Amino acid sequence: MCAGLAALLWPVDAWYLQLAKPSWNPPNWLFGPVWTTLYILIGVSAWRVARSGGFIADRPSFALLVIQWILNFAWSGFFFGLHSPALALVEIVALLAMIAALIVRFHRRDAVAAYLLVPYFLWVSFATALNFALWRLNP
């Protein structure tokens, strides 16, 4: 739902299409399927923790989950809305830290839930490198 709202609020526009991109930039069509898969994994991970009473017994896990969703959503606003790869870069580093913290917290409740977040961490790591490259290539 957050991804859909972000796409409606800040669609890919001419600004993004004209940016200089690194040779390893994925094709635009790949982002939708990747994010859909990641959101499913995040949802299953959160469900596993919630069904074990994790969010009632462990409010910091819930807080980290909410914070990472807010940061995930906000990145699109910084990058596509404000056209600011620099602000988006600062923000995505914070998102990456929140995902790492979430993996650690979830692991205390359910190891499988934590492992389900690893692809998300890896993709956002890649996205961070891509964001950095876009910032450097488009001063």
- Give residue-wise pLDDT tens across range 63-114: 999 999 999 999 999 999 999 999 999 999 999 999 999 999 999 999 999 9
At 62, which amino acid appears?
Answer: F
Domain ranges of the chain: 27-137
Q: Distance between CA 105 and CA 99 in Å, rounded? A: 10
Confirm if 21 and 135 have CB atoms less than 8 A apart: no
Please give the residue that has the higher pLDDT: either 11 or 127.
Answer: 127
Largest CA distance in the chain: 48
**Residue 117's CB: how many other CB atoms inside 10 A?**
23
Q: What is the pLDDT of residue 60?
A: 87
Task: List pLDDT tens digits, range 28-63.
Answer: 999 999 999 999 999 999 999 998 876 777 788 899
Confirm if 105 and 60 have CB atoms less than 8 A apart: yes
- Provide CB contacts within 8 A for 102, sequence distance 6+: 61, 64, 65, 68, 117
Provide Rg for the chain, Cα atoms.
16
